[in-house]
Amino acid sequence: MPEISVVKDKSLKKFLNADYTKRSKAVRRAFSYELASSLLKEIKKRIPTGEEWLDAYRDSFEIYDVIDSPKNETVFVIASKVPAKWSMADVDKTVVYFETHLNNAIGGILQEFSPFSVDQIPSLATYGSAAVIRRVRADEIIDVRSANMRNRGDLNRRLGVAKAVFKTGPPVIDGQLYFDINFAVMRMELGYGDIRKPHWKPVLRNMLKHARRVMQIPKMQKRLLKCLNPAYNQYSRELKIKRNKMRVSALWGLQKMQRKLSPTQR
């Protein structure tokens, strides 16, 4: 490991006074970003393949620099901004009713079991009925979702008798995608639903392991020690590297799903 060389007293005095705060911040930024990059790489490896929405989710991750963090500390967050096509607007206040005026067995069954929360609509090749979107209070979604999950076994059995063709992926009705990707991701992480693949918890549980791995990279060691070397005056480069920006207020939106997924909704 390279050693810090001590130079003239004048330079050392400057280092101990004015420079040290900036140099230490440069070290924190360099290390924090590399740690976030290591964690993100492992998270992406753990996300399953095989469905288009999973690929969109995996590709949506970025590392963001929180520009208004408390006390101007260095904070990097890993966040996902999935394309709008994968989530309906106001999905937290949306229920779907199926209505049919035809003598269609599948449509009649769906109408009987209506309403559905967006995440509980069965994915079928054809529906034989029209989907009608209605807005309700957010707390009503919990009751609708619970009823859907309670009746899922009976619904699937009757759809099977009616020769309904089940398909993989989110439901598409009359060209409209009905999908709540945020809820689907949380169910996948917590081990509920059809795809059960935790990808955040196992990685964050081993954060110290990732931190040690980053510190053992020779180039990283050299980079950090250079910032602390009084003879090196280019440390400010670490402070000027452009990153994706995010404000603290945006972080509250990332925590919304944790409150949304209560035990009754699983």
Percent of all residues in the chain with a pLDDT value above 90, rounded to a whole number: 26
Are residues 255 and 221 located together in one domain of the fold?
yes
What does the pLDDT average to over 8-34?
70
72 near 163, Cβ under 8 Å?
no
Where among 136, 153, 176 does a domain terminate?
176
* pLDDT band (50, 70, 90) for residue 17: low
Are residues 236 and 261 located together in one domain of the fold?
yes
Look at residue 8 and tell me whether its pLDDT is greater than 50.
Answer: no
Q: Which residue from 33, 15, 23 is spatially nearest to 241, judged by alpha carbons?
A: 33
Where among 176, 204, 235 does a domain terminate?
176
Are residues 159 and 205 located together in one domain of the fold?
no
In a domain, 3, yes or no: no
* pLDDT band (50, 70, 90) for residue 260: very low
Are residues 152 and 225 located together in one domain of the fold?
no
List the domain range (segments joined by +) for residue 147: 91-176
In a domain, 4, yes or no: no
Where among 176, 198, 216 does a domain terminate?
176
In a domain, 35, yes or no: yes
Are residues 131 and 106 located together in one domain of the fold?
yes
Are residues 111 and 66 located together in one domain of the fold?
no
What was the pLDDT predicted at 68? 64
What was the pLDDT predicted at 154? 96
Q: For the whole prediction, is pTM greater than 0.75?
A: no
Are residues 168 and 100 located together in one domain of the fold?
yes
Lowest mean pLDDT among 2-16, 145-159, 188-202: 2-16
Domain count, the chain: 2
111 near 131, Cβ under 8 Å?
no
Look at residue 5 and tell me whether its pLDDT is greater than 50.
Answer: no
What does the pLDDT average to over 224-234?
77
In a domain, 237, yes or no: yes
Lowest mean pLDDT among 12-26, 52-66, 131-145, 240-254: 240-254
